[in-house]
Structure 1
């Protein structure tokens, strides 16, 4: 982590050399020296970071480097703040500048003096570094072993010695893997088992490896633990010994002196005519597989290679060439988790009733991770069962048990190992997840915007920082450090989740390295110097001796008290970069923040704020302004001064009226919106009867990737089309007309962009725009209140990548037909309020990938779609407010003549809106009478069909 801090600082130092930054005498020289020394120290920090937990002297040295980096960052930011004040223009500003001149000069002398003091400390740190260099060089020789986990990894051998009674939940995955091993074609196949650390990959594969059916099938076999020491010659030599031992032959003479190529030839010759099984346990990098794969012949004897890995890309890449298979190991189900927990905690006895609730809460924190369940159970097994308070304390603060508890030491190391393996640029990004509360679903774009605002994303030529941040996120997903919690209908990641115990570990790391302070209780002591503060549930008391002058980020989660920044932080926080007040009990815009020069991210999402003051124009570095789900309907013209603004979100959705034309409200557009040329996302602005000027201004926003327009008039169409043609980076476009009967005129758009992925058109269309069928990247298409005279399916059916299609009052015809071999990738289809629709036909071979079909408010449709039985992959069929006659045809009591058509569909529902909520009836309930009451879902729990 010290490497991350120094790298981050060096990144901040660069502009000082590229731009003319004013110093007092000697200041520039101090910065030059500082940069040179930090670059020298950084070369050794990765090794030092990895070793600091096992070497106290190194740990102290790394902490000193980290602290100096943080303090230097603060000093440089204060210097830049002074520089910004010097560049204020205007007569009154000049008067202020003159009055502050002496004050700023004093501040510059102070900053130069602080830099001098910092450099003096750097010199001392560098002297220690010279003395430690020999230790670091020795560590460098072993760095591969360190990153493979050699320091603690011997305990992995315990997984190979577990008795059958010590493991649960492996029967089903083991049976699947046995089938993959002993059946299938004769070519050599690679089978990868992947998942986060602690899931039991090694345990599962060892039980597979020892299975009698597997041993009988593969007479030649070997188990190789890659992470013990990945030196290719040692690994290959180990393979030779094991393979010759299993065939009961002596190893070749001169084995110890063989080169890598000779070892590969030896292995290949041995296996050439044998059906073999080789397991490579704990592979971390694809080059490790690349280094050994050519020693394993593809001999058409049905041979198999099994790889266990935490990294999804290693799993998939190793299988591609052989057309092998990837098994994603999942956490234990709830029942099996409980069985393992009880067995280990109470040694086979039952759980006392008075501990049942606490045990369930503790078990939920383990989230089905076998290693976590066993480790936490080991701690609980030593506790007095009569001391409920001790059990409750562990439930409240299981993270605290990681410190100094030997029984949790291995779990901590297993989970920490993936973190230690991260490159420096991902460590900050991952530690940042500790700001979120337990079980919090992390919104993908929120996280990406926060990373960017914090400066964690390294810019690369030809790519936006958002695209690079996506790569960072995908790398963390690939390493199974975070999991996907929810996706959009077209497969994009929407929300993320981090395992609760892994979160506890990074909270400890964040606190130890003064990266983030998480405050859950008023009595919790703050660090002396807070850099990032995340407040959960209750506002902290003001600590007189705790400085927040260097605070960079402030988050509130679940706070319900009345909020006053001035009372909470009376001394202010001039270096604040991120202010996230999403869901906070805030009624007015916090005026205290308008002088925050460094503020890049401001979220007031889902607050009661309804007015944005003119002073917001002072936030010159603001990149994200999130006012979604507020009552803000207009922005002051001063917003146009925010030249760095990249994401502007100002809209509100009425979820209870998702199918209503006016279910969404936007913001009045600024006439000169084109000045905000850094904008990437602009949702949603009203056209405002701007005589076409606003629509023309949009053409200047050439960086836009998502655009949402409301209250569009027919006469605005030509200017809008002209602007859209200039927006070559557009990925999502949403257009809503001024009224249900107002026409959206898009006929002037002649050359749509090939990268457009999502299109939402709400309003009357004279004809379906002729350019839509050429949108080969389109994955989502919503047409609402279109009232087309011609069947739109004819024009849409050949879109090659369309996954989700929603049609609401889109067509006035009586029949729609889905043709054979059309809509090849469609997975979700919604048909809503087709007032004249009497018949839906599905030809055999149409929509072969369809998984969900929703039909609602089609009053004349009294039969299920003809040919629905051909949709073999259909998982969910939903009817919303449909005629009783149609639903009656699906009864199971013999009177439902069409039940056979939907019998293959796992979930079939009929839903009605009743008294402010949805009454949901499963078709399975139609046995004796119709209808039988099912469960009732509140409107906000219902999937929002029309949400953009």
Structure 2
């Protein structure tokens, strides 16, 4: 009855440090006060339980009103070990109930969380690719493996076995974490079942029975190539490394390896021995020096995911990662993620020749430079969902050479990021093109170009668009007035670094907008006051915008608060000079837009805000 439909949804979370300390204090002392000498130590103990009530209660059980200060300090140093020494069996028995209640198809997915270091932020995109490569996801006819993996992850989250850390701009889960205590459960169960072995020290010898180890996670700070000689005859299927090394090691001899996640290891050149590991499904590594993938990589017929980044580049000319064209003829590939990848010409002739392969499984092609979007090439990728490309424009090359209008052939495309860079006059070249974008597109990023209002209408008419980012970007004119019926599902809008001066819009143009971010919009006069009528709007974020824009945002917030809407927040992320001077003049200019009593009150609040910034 009293729920406010305009306020954000409340997500149940772990206990705050304050609530953790309250629970710990009540567990130990009941209604009595905690001695002053123990309060700071007790607060640290509560914080180290990281919000898990079960851990707090069990820790409180280790202490009593009569415990000495030395006992508190000892437990504060390592809460997890203290529980393990005293109530470890009871604690793990309680947590194990959650594990044993899991359906069998989720148990491997949960145990796999143990491969990541303690307090590690796990990115969902990486985790899902690893689960698929490991074979944990069983196919269903009506869903892709990645979609099923997302369902599995949602189930673990709903069971409170993992926690959401960050979300994308449209609300999708971006990263997760696992509580230390639950991770300990993962590691213990994984070792009992010979599912996983952690290497936390520089010891290069596996525990007894090492040939039965299927997965190894390296988490120590030093590295010795002798490690490879120890495990090359094992039954190792997965090797994941989470510490940074630099190596010129060229051969990797794991005959049965399926997963090699070595993104933290910088190889001076591509380790050629990898191409002999025909069972590989997942490769992630980092190349320094000259970046070049060998033609022989096509021998990896089972490869699903290939991630190659660049690091420690002393010569800017060497930052390109040269890709062989036959990499787009590997039928099992699902995800290509590169850093400044480039296909040398003649690219088209090699890809679309008589032995062309339709990449039915390919879903991701990311960070490729000057990729020619011809109809012939894009038709070989019918199920592509994510495309990130960039173009460096030479005066001798016309934009039309790249045929951007062919994006429409990617009917399943969900995410498109396109960056344009001109070497002649910097960013901001007008693109003489008729945009033709697929109707399923949900996320669109354009950077470094000028676009006509006609093409903005094409973007606004996309029925499923939820995220729009316009960076280093200019419109054809200084006034933007969207048409009614555009941007019907847009949730997040970013406009950065342009010369827009006036913006005429209201809730009918952006009916579902949740987050508006304006950055370096120095010429914009104000945010349309009608934005306050957008029921879904939760955040207006401003960075290095004019003080009149700041004042207009605060006016909108103040008016909504007067109407009982406490859900709208305004965040200003800059203390720039234009907030330190001429605030009265800018504010009066903004106030002239609305002169009622509510606006005057809001103006006073805005002025106080500006004074505080000064």
TM-score category (smaller protein)? 0.7 to 0.9
SS at match of 2:217: strand
How high is the TM-score relative to the length of structure 2?
0.75
Query: Partner of 1:550 in structure 2?
Result: 235
2: CA distance between counterparts of 1:629 and 1:484? Answer: 29
How high is the TM-score relative to the length of structure 1?
0.51
Aligned pair count reads 550
Q: CA-to-partner distance for each residue in 1:15-70, whole Å, 9 max, x for gaps?
A: xxxxxxxxxxxxxxxxxxxxxxxxxxxxxxxxxxxxxxxxxxxxxxxxxxxxxxxx
Q: 1:668 aligns with which of 343, 346, 351?
A: 343
Q: CA-to-partner distance for each residue in 1:464-509, whole Å, 9 max, x for gaps?
A: 3223323322332333322322221123221122222111111100
Q: 1:832 aligns with which of 474, 478, 496?
A: 496
1:874 is aligned to 2:537? yes
Query: Partner of 2:140 in structure 1?
Result: 460
Q: CA-to-partner distance for each residue in 1:871-923, whole Å, 9 max, x for gaps?
A: 45433323333335555x5699xxxx998568774324152689xxxxxxxx9
Unaligned runs of 5+ in 2: 312-318, 563-567, 578-602
Q: 1:505 aligns with which of 148, 170, 185?
A: 185
Q: CA-to-partner distance for each residue in 1:238-295, whole Å, 9 max, x for gaps?
A: xxxxxxxxxxxxxxxxxxxxxxxxxxxxxxxxxxxxxxxxxxxxxxxxxxxxxxxxxx
Query: Partner of 2:307 in structure 1?
Result: 626
Residue pair 1:673, 1:697 contacting (<8 A) in 2 also: yes
Within-5 A mapping of 1:319-330: 329-330=12-13
Residue pair 2:282, 2:305 contacting (<8 A) in 1 also: yes
Offset at 1:460? 3.2
1:483 is aligned to 2:163? yes
Q: CA-to-partner distance for each residue in 1:566-590, whole Å, 9 max, x for gaps?
A: 99x9xx4322211111233544433
Q: 2:75 aligns with which of 386, 391, 395?
A: 391
SS at match of 1:710: strand
1: CA distance between counterparts of 2:83 and 2:296? Answer: 43
SS at match of 1:650: strand
2: CA distance between counterparts of 1:383 and 1:520? Answer: 33
Q: 1:851 aligns with which of 499, 504, 514?
A: 514
2: CA distance between counterparts of 1:791 and 1:900? Answer: 35
Residue pair 1:926, 1:932 contacting (<8 A) in 2 also: no
1:679 is aligned to 2:362? yes
Q: CA-to-partner distance for each residue in 1:56-96, whole Å, 9 max, x for gaps?
A: xxxxxxxxxxxxxxxxxxxxxxxxxxxxxxxxxxxxxxxxx
Query: Partner of 2:336 in structure 1?
Result: 648
1: CA distance between counterparts of 2:67 and 2:260? Answer: 42
Query: Partner of 1:730 in structure 2?
Result: 413
Unaligned runs of 5+ in 1: 1-178, 185-325, 652-664, 743-760, 915-922, 934-948
SS at match of 2:450: coil
Offset at 1:650? 0.9
Offset at 1:453? 1.5
2: CA distance between counterparts of 1:728 and 1:890? Answer: 40
Work out which structure has the larger RCO, using CA pairs closer than 8 Å and 6 or more positions apart in sequence: 2
Offset at 1:512? 1.0
Within-5 A mapping of 1:921-940: 927=608, 930=611, 932=613
Query: Partner of 2:598 in structure 1?
Result: none
Residue pair 1:533, 1:554 contacting (<8 A) in 2 also: yes
Offset at 1:556? 1.5
Residue pair 1:519, 1:536 contacting (<8 A) in 2 also: yes
Coordinate RMSD, CA, aligned: 4.3
Q: CA-to-partner distance for each residue in 1:774-802, whole Å, 9 max, x for gaps?
A: 82x44333344453443666555555443
Residue pair 1:735, 1:762 contacting (<8 A) in 2 also: no
1:538 is aligned to 2:221? yes
Within-5 A mapping of 1:325-344: 329-344=12-27
1: CA distance between counterparts of 2:196 and 2:289? Answer: 28
SS at match of 1:867: helix
SS at match of 1:375: helix
Q: 2:256 aligns with which of 567, 575, 578?
A: 575
2: CA distance between counterparts of 1:392 and 1:540? Answer: 31
2: CA distance between counterparts of 1:330 and 1:704? Answer: 36
1: CA distance between counterparts of 2:401 and 2:447? Answer: 19
Offset at 1:450? 0.9
1:474 is aligned to 2:154? yes
Within-5 A mapping of 1:147-166: none
Query: Partner of 2:276 in structure 1?
Result: 595
2: CA distance between counterparts of 1:899 and 1:471? Answer: 37
The structure with the greater share of residues assigned to strand is 2
1:814 is aligned to 2:478? yes
Query: Partner of 1:370 in structure 2?
Result: 53
Residue pair 1:581, 1:603 contacting (<8 A) in 2 also: yes
2: CA distance between counterparts of 1:581 and 1:590? Answer: 11
Residue pair 1:831, 1:854 contacting (<8 A) in 2 also: yes
Within-5 A mapping of 1:237-276: none
Larger Rg belongs to = 1
1:584 is aligned to 2:265? yes
2: CA distance between counterparts of 1:579 and 1:645? Answer: 15
Within-5 A mapping of 1:215-254: none
Cα distance, 1:730–1:741 mapped onto 2, change above 3 Å: farther
Within-5 A mapping of 1:747-766: 764-766=430-432
Query: Partner of 2:528 in structure 1?
Result: 865
Residue pair 1:620, 1:641 contacting (<8 A) in 2 also: no
2: CA distance between counterparts of 1:632 and 1:740? Answer: 16
Query: Partner of 1:610 in structure 2?
Result: 291
Cα distance, 1:679–1:463 mapped onto 2, change above 3 Å: same
Within-5 A mapping of 1:378-527: 378-381=61-64, 385-386=69-70, 390-391=74-75, 394-395=78-79, 397=81, 400-401=84-85, 405=86, 407-461=87-141, 463-522=143-202, 526-527=207-208
Query: Partner of 2:572 in structure 1?
Result: 909
Cα distance, 1:804–1:335 mapped onto 2, change above 3 Å: same
